Amino acid sequence: MSIAAPPQTQATGRLGEIIALAQSLYEDIAFKAVADWKAKDKTRRAIGFLPVYVPREVIHAAGGLPVGIMGGGDMTEIVRGDSYFQSYICHLPRSVIELLVSGRLDSMDGFLFPSICDVIRNLSGMFKLLKPDRYVHYFDLPQNFRSNLGGTFYVSELKSVAGAVSAMTGTPVTDERLRESIKVYNANSRAMNALLELRIEKPWLVPAAEYYLLLRAGFLLPVDEHTAMLNEYTLLVQQSDRRALDNIRVMVRGAFCEQPPVALLRTLERAGCYLVDDDFVVGSRFIPDPIAETGNPWDALADAFMHHSLPAASVYDEKHEKAKKLVDRVREVRADGVLLMAPSFCDPALLDQPMLQEALEQAGIPFTSFKYSEDTGQFQVIREQAGTFADAIKLWGTV
Amino acid sequence: MTISAGIDVGSGAVKVAIMGVEGGVEKILGSYLERIRRRNVMDVVDESFESALRDAGVRRDQLAYIATTGEGDLIPWRTGHFYGMTTHSRGALYLDPEARAAIDIGALHTRAMRFNEAGRVLQYQMTSQCASGSGQFLENIARYLGVSIEEIGPLSLNSDNAEKCSSICAVLAETDVINMVSRGVSTPNILRGIHNSMAVRIAGLVRAIKVEGVVLMTGGLARDAGLIAALQDKLKDGAAKLAVRGHELSVYAGAIGAALWGAFRHDKLTHQEASSGGT
Amino acid sequence: MTTAIKDASQDRQKTMIAEHFGKLSRAKEDGRKVVYTFVPGNLTELLLNFDLLPVLPEINALQSGMRGKTGDYIQLAEKSGHSEDVCTYVKADIGMLKSGNIGPTGEKLPDPDLLLLSYTGCFTFLKWFELLREEYDCPVVMLHVPYQGDGKITGEMRDYVVGQIRDVLIPELEKLSGKKFDEDRLREDLKRSAKAEDDLVWVLESAKHKPSPIDAYFGGVYYIGPIFTSFRGTEDAVDYYQLLRGEIEERLAQGLGPITPDGVMEEEKYRIVVEGPPNWTSFREFWKMFHSEGAVVVASSYTKVGGLYDRGFRHDPDDPIGTLADYSMGCYTNLNLPDRIDLLEKYITDYDADGFLINSVKSCNSFSAGQLLILRELEKRTGRAGGFIESDLVDPRYFSAANIKNRLESYFQMIEAKRTKG
Amino acid sequence: MECYIGIDLGSTTTKAVILDAEGRIVGRGITNSRSNYDVAAQVAKQEAYTNARFEMLSRILRDETGVDKEERESLESHLTAAYAHECFLGQLSRLEQHCRTDLDNPRFDDDRRELLQSVEVIMQGIREHAHRNFQPSATARSDFFRDIAGAAFIDVAAEISRGGGPAFDKLVGMFDRNIIPVENEQETRSFSELLTAAYGRLPDGLRSSVAGLPDTLKAVADTPMEEVRTVGTGYGRVRLPFPKDCIRSEILCHGLGAHLMFPATATVLDIGGQDTKAIQVDAQGVVTSFQMNDRCAAGCGRYLGYIADEMNIGLHELGPLAMASKRRVKINSTCTVFAGAEFRDRLAAGQEREDIVNGLHRAIILRAMSLLARSGGIKNEFTFTGGVAKNPAAVRALREVGEENYGELILNIAPDSIYTGAVGAGTFAMRDVAAGVGANQEAA
Ligand SMILES: Nc1ncnc2c1ncn2[C@@H]1O[C@H](COP(=O)(O)OP(=O)(O)O)[C@@H](O)[C@H]1O
Ligand SMILES: Nc1ncnc2c1ncn2[C@@H]1O[C@H](COP(=O)(O)OP(=O)(O)O)[C@@H](O)[C@H]1O
Ligand code: SF4
Ligand code: SF4
Ligand code: SF4
């Protein structure tokens, strides 16, 4: 319920500039920013990776720029992409293929397809066929979490990627370099955490759409530039005069891969929901705690993935603790409820849902679920749903 | 008495209800419905709002709260806005105090919601990007068959051998209907066939929210006795504890609910102000 | 469904299956432990080693599909919060569970004592057993089988799988069964596996003859039954394949075409290679659309989901654990897209097919994502007619007979047109 | 004259063409498809005959009289408009009759008088509209009685109810009920009668501009036209009122039709009312592959119809409106039924009408693009057919998107593009007769 139309949170001045930059990077579906970055030095190489998680440290250490390919959003017109996928497959791969066949991924020197689902997996084969001259690798993440088994396998995968990127850049990945990269990314994740903390405390300062754009910027910009951007934003936004609205606090789960359009996030907020935690672009903060900066850096990365990463539908929940973690997190961020939003036709997310719902029901946490696709253009239904959800909590309070 | 107004702006029609609440007794003072049919929505809103006030014999300045629902958040002079499922649940409870769930079938969307004895929404489900089985769809078909909307229900009830309607698309179904007509299928049998296929979809929604007890149909299609019959049929097997009902004022459920929530909110706010000594 | 198929081998298979389900229904009283696991890359011989009884939920789902039960099962699962969008094998299984877990023989299936999550070639498996874990109070063991993303099995991949079998699986199975792992017995079983595999390959390759004595898709799904499921490594399997081979040798000698549910096929008009699993809910109707037009499937990829024996793989008694690892990593669903295309291309030429057809099933992203590219590549490489139809495994809502028939008819006409031209 | 007839019973419109013995198109007729296929086919055919006779007249005037071009054209356009006007009035009076009879129903007992009065006012209003609309210079909103009369009906009805008359819904309901029988009846007057009546409507100056005009008209009306064979195709083909061997699949007909119009055609895109087809043909016009939308009518011609309805403008006006747009609005949902809602939303959000409409056109073309891509892409030459090919904004979007993705294109659009399927069917009729196959055609 809203008493009056919520005022548009307009960012002005330097804050406005930061958002505008993030927005323009987000809209840069031709990856011009990457081409510009490469143009500054002939030896530079960019490696595109698909959602969800890829240890960017390794690419960084090999002197490459890791670039997230998160789909074409609602900005890509699908002309040929549809001819590669049946109607019952999610939207992301069509826009990615569209970007590929229309030449908009030409600035990428290689592609990594992390193992998150069969669609991404098969997409790696399609890239191999369509781009035989590029480095295309299916990056298999272990589902066994013993260091002598999954760990060893994972390190071999990391080394194979490092080797391939090094061969392009001429920069070998030494342990020393890798440790340095870990440090740089740790700084980034600290900046990310600070922003997230602020958002949890004062969500009206950090609108979902802005937060999201900043996350996306991190998948395009060189890491130190992104860290600086985050820090500056976090500082400035605390000095702004943004005021709180009569909104409820919600947490989002299920959006780890195909991304919702930004307009959808705005719709949610307008319907009375502050997003205090989510799993959008989850790879950008998949390992929330700093990774060990000393010792064997390869093992450190493996250990971080296997034991310190966030839960995701694509990773086997060996300890059977996904439900508990979800409920704990809701409490930790003091969310009034949970939005389970999943991409249409996304098997991992949708098969996860009944389990998450069960857990929330058990814990007495309100939730609602809906599907979206990256090019969803009609928000009425979602607005109604989120609005009703917010109404119920506002009229009756949390449970 | 707290007097409040509820305005439900739908994609097919604008509904207004004026409610009076006093000492826990809720009364409908006036109402008005106007279909939009290709006209400027805001004009229709203004017109219907005035007409409803006239119907209730209430002046605008007597209103404690003007609540909107549906697409009504575009109205600049509203006091507050509530979302459709919040208002339909409340309206359904007002119309039928035994109801614990409502099915709202409007021009474009179908929603099912379950609520408790206080009108609090517990669970809901809504159709999404596809308009199959909506009011608009039925309206198109009716136009094709040359029957007016009011006749759909009674005709459908007269069916003796419902035709199977396969097409799930609201547009392609028109073609299906053409085929049926040319095969000489009678209008009642076509309509019942369509009602049956709509009922299957609606029943799916209803099952998804695990309803038990009385379900009230709200929204424009609640007037369609044929659809109600088809739905009663579909929900009969399996979930024996379900009773689907309609109400002559069902179409106003959203507007009524909005007005009631508005009054509730108004009382709560003034109460707060009073207890905090005003501001 | 098999009333018209009267071969002795069919009867034999039926008996084998009935016996297996009989054992399952008595498992609890006999004190035998039950393990649920998946078909692709399965570890049947290893389970045999501990006298464990396997249950394959995928097979249950497909059999429920054939018996027309899955429509209700799926709805039941959807009612409990499952999305319309996801794999219907999972939903059919969950629905079956919710309706009392009655197996294909009408007897209740025993609850699992262990969920063996052998994760080969499909992510949905992972979710499937995470979901089942919520229903049963039993341990889950994961065997992560890495994907052949770059088209090969590397040493690291092999070490990873072998390591998991040795350090994770075997200890768990020993714990569960109270028996020690017996490597010699495994070798003996693997020898029998290889023997049966030889005969299966012979049978599948008999389709190279003209006319083909078998249908390698609709008939093929029966031929692969024992070897892909619970019988590999048993004497039963060896006998079955010998029997089968004998029958086909006979047909070949007589120059007969395949047997269909409606009798022996008359004229072989079109030789087709098919990619993708069949539809089970209307299996017979679907088959009829082929045989009534004189179309014979001479090779199919679906009959390779449980191993690419025709590409030379045999279970190797000399390296028992290594061979299990190789088998897991080598089945069709674990091949990358370029390799799948190469394989299909080879089938088209080796079996001298007139064209190839893709049955794209909604459920299975593992198969379906990328099939349209497969279609285009194969058209380009072979110049033969490609066809594309869409259906589902066990969701009756996604089998539109009129639509598929229409497409198949135009497809066969296209082959005809290509023939008369060139 | 020997006539070969092709009829394409589309989901939205039914088209007929008449081919002469040389295979030239000599007549075209179009009507909206309706619940009675027989009538739709008959009406379209009748229209095609009418059109053929007008063409004949045009030829005679050109070749056999000394009248100069300007005057000739003026005469022809007046006569055509008057003829259409005559037909329209005939239908209108039947509509009025049905409305009146309908009001006999006892459920109108309470407000019959009021309603009858309204009918009178409405009919008068429509007649006045028609008077303006059937000026030779007027651009019609639509070719069909339902649309022209319906729009005028709604306008007048809204006025009446605003002025305190019966409720708008009630009035419009009357139209909805009674238009159906009107559409399912055929014109009872013959061509010659209608022509004579139209002649009577001509201004005096024109009537005397050509010497012996009445005789010429009589000759045209009396020329015998012999129907040799009719072949039908289209969406409703399973229900076509034709013998089975006189029916062809719409894909084949469209492929052949496009090939005949543009022999170098390699790819055909047809966007009709409820379906979109992407077809690849070889050098002989034989279809080699095709894709069609199944199960969902999103992004078909009907979508534009809903939008035009929503804006209460004619289909013809939609394209030109979009052409005026300078900005591109991206529209994602192409569900036909939602189109109206999306349009309203965007207007409310402050977007310009023409930009939204332009975006809608582009959205349709994008849908079509994915079918094209699935059928094998666009190859030169590329022929665009179906009703939507008449829409300049759709054509512009197609050219833009096509060239962005497939390089330079030779894009063919025939003025007769909506008749492509019918031409294919007519040609099959000729070929069948030449090959001596097929039924004797009494039944049709
Ligand atoms: N008696 C009736 N029988 C059948 N349908 C009706 C009847 N009255 C109204 N409708 C339908 O109800 C719909 C409008 O319902 P409503 O709830 O007002 O929708 P919305 O809120 O979306 O505008 C229209 O599509 C109309 O066709
Ligand atoms: N003059 C016109 N201007 C713009 N669009 C038109 C025009 N005439 C027809 N159309 C479009 O063509 C569609 C009908 O196309 P058609 O090919 O006749 O369909 P079908 O073959 O399915 O009946 C209509 O829905 C309309 O959108
Ligand atoms: S959205 Fe889901 S199904 Fe699609 S690629 Fe991502 S994880 Fe896979
Ligand atoms: S199926 Fe019909 S109603 Fe549904 S989205 Fe498509 S056009 Fe709209
Ligand atoms: S997605 Fe395919 S392989 Fe996986 S469980 Fe479903 S049907 Fe089997």
pLDDT tens digits, C224-256: 988 888 899 999 999 999 999 999 999 999 999
The pLDDT of A121-129, averaged and rounded, is 98
How many C-beta atoms surround the C-beta of residue D69 within 10 A? 9
**Least CB–CB distance from D338: residue in B38, B108, B146:** B108
Q: Do domains B2-92+252-277 and B97-246 have the same CATH topology?
A: yes
The predicted pLDDT at position D147 comes to 83
Ligand nearest to the CA of C365: 5
Span A209-226, mean pLDDT?
97
Structure tokens at A153: 């396998």
Take residue D208 and report the two structure tokens written for it: 């005397």
Are the beta carbons of D173 and B149 separated by less than 8 Å?
yes
- In the structure encoding, which two tokens stand for residue B221, read together? 């299609």
pLDDT tier, B178 (very low <50, low <70, confident <90, very high otherwise): confident
DSSP strand pairing (D411-412 vs D382-385): parallel
C-alpha B253 to ligand 1 mean position (Å): 12
A132: nearest CA partner in chain C: C338
pLDDT band at residue A3 using 50, 70 and 90 as cut-offs: very low
Q: Which of A63-72, B44-53, D363-372 has the lowest mean pLDDT?
A: D363-372
* B161 class by beta-carbon count within 10 Å (0-12 exposed, 13-18 middle, 19+ buried): exposed
**CA angle A238-A243-A246, nearest 5°?**
135
How far apart, in whole angstroms, are the C-alpha atoms of residue A352 and residue A312?
Answer: 9
Structure tokens at D312: 């209460």
Q: Which residue of A has its CA nearest to C338?
A: A125
Are C125 and C38 in contact by the 8 Å Cβ rule? The answer is yes
Chains that touch D (3 or more CB pairs under 8 A): A, B, C
A5 band by pLDDT with thresholds 50, 70 and 90: very low
Please indicate, yes or no, whether residues D45 and D123 belong to a single structural domain of this protein: no
Is D418 close to ligand 2, i.e. is its CB under 6 Å away? yes
Given this model, what pLDDT does residue C4 score?
44
Tokens of B252: 């106003």
- Cβ distance C131 to A354 less than 8 Å, yes or no, reads yes
* C91–A contact, CB cutoff 8 A: no
Contacts with C79 from chain B: Cβ below 8 Å:
207-208
What's the domain count of chain D?
3
- Section A99-107 average pLDDT: 96
The response to whether residue B149 sits with its C-beta less than 6 Å from ligand 1 reads yes
CA distance A272 to chain B (A): 10
Residue C122 alpha carbon to ligand 5 centre in Å: 6
The answer on D169 and D104 residing in a single domain is: yes
The answer to whether the CB atoms of D332 and A74 lie below 8 A apart is: yes
Which numbered ligand comes closest to the C-alpha of C394? 5
- Which domains does chain A possess? 40-173 (3.40.50.11890)
Residues of A in contact with D362 (CB under 8 A): 77
The answer on pLDDT for A397 being more than 80 is no
What pLDDT was estimated at residue A358?
Answer: 95
* Alpha helices for B34-147 (secondary structure H): 41-56, 84-95, 135-145
Cα–ligand 2 centroid distance for D390 (angstroms): 8
Q: What percent of chain A has pLDDT over 90?
A: 86
- Residue D163's pLDDT is what? 85
Ligand nearest the Cα of residue B218 is 1
Q: Whole-angstrom Cα distance, residue C65 to residue C77?
A: 15
Q: Which of C72, C76, C79, C99 to mutate to test the interface with B (most CBs of B within 10 A)?
A: C79
Model confidence band, residue B213 (pLDDT cutoffs 50, 70, 90): confident
Task: Indicate if ligand 4 lies below 6 Å from the C-beta of B225.
Answer: no
What's residue C215's pLDDT?
A: 97
Q: For residue D429, what are the domain limits? A: 1-60+225-262+419-444
What residue owns the CA closest to ligand 5's atom 3? Answer: C122
User: For B200, which residue in chain C has the nearest alpha carbon?
Assistant: C75
Residue D275, domain CATH: 3.30.420.40
Other CB atoms closer than 10 Å to residue A28's CB: what's the count? 17
User: Which among C164, C369, C371 has the least Cβ separation from residue A149?
Assistant: C164
Cβ proximity of D319 and D394 under 8 Å: yes
Answer yes or no: are the C-beta atoms of D401 and D364 closer than 8 Å. Answer: no
Domains of chain B, by residue range, sit at 2-92+252-277, 97-246
User: What's D111's DSSP letter?
Assistant: T
The verdict on a CB contact (< 8 Å) between A142 and C370 is no
Q: In whole angstroms, how far apart are CA D312 and each of B43, C242, D102, D315? A: 16, 75, 27, 9
Beta-strand ranges (E) seen in C305-354 are: none
Across the interface, of A1, A368, A370, the residue whose CB is closest to B80 is: A1
Residue D151: closest CA among chain B residues belongs to which residue?
A: B38
Say how far apart CA A241 and CA A245 lie, in whole Å.
13
CB proximity D324 to B under 8 Å: no
Does residue C364 register a pLDDT over 80? yes
Per-residue confidence band for C259, with pLDDT thresholds at 50, 70 and 90: very high
pLDDT tens readout for residues D285-294: 888 888 887 6
pLDDT 10s digits, A273-282:
999 999 999 9
CA distances from C296 to C214, C355, C412 (A): 8, 11, 12
Return the sign of the alpha-carbon dihedral for residues A301, A305, A306, A310.
Answer: positive
d(CA C243, CA C225): 14
CB contact under 8 A, D332 and A82: no
Q: Are residues D290 and D389 in the same domain?
A: yes
Taking residues C282-292, report their average pLDDT. 95
Shortest-distance atom of ligand 5 to CA C122: 4
pLDDT of residue B269: 76
At A7 the pLDDT is: 42
Least reliable range by pLDDT among C317-321, C392-396, D95-99, D282-286: D282-286
Q: Among A200-209, D134-143, D243-252, which is the least confidently predicted range?
A: D134-143
Answer yes or no: is the C-beta of A257 below 6 A from any ligand 3 atom.
Answer: yes
Q: What is the mean pLDDT of residues C366-390?
A: 93
How many whole angstroms separate alpha carbon A152 and alpha carbon A149? 5
The answer to whether D15 and D30 have CB atoms below 8 angstroms apart is: yes
- Any atom of ligand 5 within 6 Å of the Cβ of C366: yes
Averaged pLDDT of chain C: 93
- Kindly identify which residue of chain D lies nearest to residue B136, measuring between CA atoms: D337
Are D376 and D271 contained in the same domain?
yes
Q: Which atom of ligand 5 is nearest to the CA of C125?
A: 5
Does the structure show a pLDDT above 60 at C65? yes
A47: distance to nearest CA of chain D, Å? 25
CB contacts, 8 Å: A1 with chain B: 80-83, 86, 261, 265
Q: Is residue D425 part of a domain?
A: yes
- pLDDT-derived band at C2, boundaries 50, 70, 90: very low
pLDDT grade, residue D36 (50/70/90)? confident
> Using CA atoms, how far apart are residues B244 and B237, in angstroms rounded to an integer?
13
- The tens digit of pLDDT for each residue in D133-151 reads 888 777 766 778 888 888 8
Mean pLDDT of A358-378: 91
Q: Is the pLDDT of residue D280 over 70?
A: yes
Reported confidence tier of residue B129, pLDDT bands at 50, 70, 90 = low
When CB atoms are compared, the residue of A3, A385, A396 closest to B80 is A3
**D173 to B172: CB separation less than 8 angstroms, yes or no:** no
- The per-residue pLDDT for B166 is 67
Q: Return the number of other C-beta atoms located less than 10 Å from residue A307's C-beta.
A: 11
Domain B97-246: CATH superfamily, name plus number = ATPase, nucleotide binding domain (3.30.420.40)
User: Helix (H, G, I), strand (E, B), or coil: what is residue C390?
Assistant: strand
Q: What is the pLDDT of residues D39-74, one digit of tens each?
A: 888 899 999 999 999 999 998 888 887 778 888 888
Closest CA to D19 of D28, D11, D10: D28
Mark residue B254 as left, alpha or beta (left: phi above 0; alpha: psi -120 to 50; beta: remaining). alpha
Nearest residue (by CA) to ligand 2, atom 26, is D301
| pLDDT averaged over every residue in chain B | 86
User: In the CATH scheme, what architecture does the domain B2-92+252-277 have?
Assistant: 2-Layer Sandwich (3.30)
Min Cα distance B278 → chain A (Å) is: 18
Ligand 1 closest atom vs CA B105: 17
